[in-house]
Amino acid sequence: MVTFLTIGTTGVGKNAMEALPTGRGEGAMELGNGISSELVRTQLQRIIACQEFDASDRNRRFLQYVVEETLNGQTDRIKAYTIATSVFGREASFDPQADPIIRIEASRLRRSLERYYLTAGKSDPIRIEIPKGHYIPTFGRAEIEPSDPGETADVAAPAASSPPKGKEAAAGGGAQTAWKWYAATAMGLAIVFALAWFAQIEKYSPFAAEHQPGQAAGHGPEILVAPFDNDGGNAADTALARGFTREVVVGLSRFDGLYVYGSETSRLYEANADANWPLHGLPIRYVITGGVTVDENRFHVTAFLVDANTGRNLWSGTFERDLTPGDVVKARDFIAGRVAQTLAQPYGILYREEA
């Protein structure tokens, strides 16, 4: 059994709050329940360095910033504005009410931490979490209850005893045979139940695919990637916006169970963009669209997911990447991949809408 003892600004009470350091020293400050700042920093570096921690470099810096500020007693600095300007490189004019980038990235960071502790970090002694509603992390210790010594002795006893003889050996052999039969039966039942469970998941998943002769491969959502606009106004960037649309189509097509409509249908949409919703004649459920802005320092994209039947905006997100000379195409492809992954990954935006 694993028990998590949460320590932090929303943790276990006054004692935990008083244990938080108030200076910027780098020593091993005790936080309570055997958790020190040194242990937390060690856990932080373990997470950041882990390849299975599915987070962008910017979100790794995000995590490092909020943890260090908390350990240094500067939780009053952990706000959307300071994160945007200190970690994301936003200008002083950044308005967290108008730009939801920090809320979006915090949500992604929470999911990345959850996946990490379910996979590579499931045996880690220290747990770092960012509770919903704010950006101040909490720190907890996983305490594993020791096994019952009596049970260990009972299990180990037969191995230390002398080999049975005569009738005892025959009885022991029968017991062993029966035990093996029960174990094999239990394993078989477990496999059957597991297969049935996965079959149910596949059946009801929005991305399930039924590969039957003469039929379409599944009942996943139909998606149209509409042409992304060139919001920068520079005529030379029109080709970049068109290429970005193409790369989003390519990225989404890598996910099984999605019907992705590309350039030809996209041009049909562009020709009828002023028509009233729903878009009659187009067999789609969702439209992905947005705008691309390119300047000398940054590649910026705003993406939207729209209900094709009602025109209702279901989701929006902003993505950006700093540019270096000759890096425009690389930045374009990187952000297109991020947009596709955000929408179509397991438990992503499309999964949420379908569920």
Q: What is the DSSP letter of 232?
A: T
Q: What is the pLDDT of residues 195-222, one digit of tens each?
A: 665 554 444 444 443 333 333 334 568 8
- Flag whether 187 is in a domain: no
| 6 & 136 share domain | yes
What CATH number should be reported for the domain holding residue 287? 3.40.50.10610
| 232 & 133 share domain | no
Q: Tokens standing for 144?
A: 């594993």
User: What is the per-residue pLDDT for 162?
Assistant: 47
Side-chain half-sphere exposure of 326, counting CA atoms within 13 A: 0
Report the candidate in 57, 103, 56, 109 with the shortest Cα–Cα distance to residue 79: 103
- Flag whether 213 is in a domain: no
> What SS3 class is residue 230?
strand
In degrees to the nearest 10, what's the CA dihedral of 159, 165, 171, 173? 60
> What SS3 class is residue 312?
coil
Asked if residues 138 and 6 have their Cβ atoms less than 8 Å apart, the reply is yes
Cα 171 to Cα 156, 160, 206: the distances in Å are 20, 18, 54
Domain boundary among 121, 144, 167: 144
User: What is the per-residue pLDDT for 270?
Assistant: 57
| The pLDDT of residue 104 is above 50 | yes
Asked if residues 70 and 11 have their Cβ atoms less than 8 Å apart, the reply is no
| 125 & 239 share domain | no
Q: What is the pLDDT of residues 27-53, one digit of tens each?
A: 455 666 678 999 999 999 999 999 889
- Flag whether 16 is in a domain: yes
Domain boundary among 115, 144, 173: 144
Report the candidate in 302, 342, 283 with the shortest Cα–Cα distance to residue 351: 342
262: Cβ–Cβ under 8 A, 6 or more apart, which residues? 225, 246, 249
Q: Which domain holds residue 246?
A: 222-354
Interstrand relation of 2-8 and 138-144 (parallel, antiparallel or unpaired): antiparallel
Q: Domain tally for the chain?
A: 2
Q: Tokens standing for 73?
A: 């007693």
Q: What is the pLDDT of residues 220-233, one digit of tens each?
A: 688 989 888 888 87
Backbone angles phi, psi at 273, to 5 degrees: -65, -25
| 243 & 137 share domain | no
- Flag whether 165 is in a domain: no
162: Cβ–Cβ under 8 A, 6 or more apart, which residues? none
Cα 130 to Cα 19, 66, 110, 138, 216: the distances in Å are 19, 9, 6, 6, 42
Backbone φ/ψ region at 282: left (φ over 0), alpha (ψ -120 to 50), beta: beta
Give percent of the chain above pLDDT 70.
65
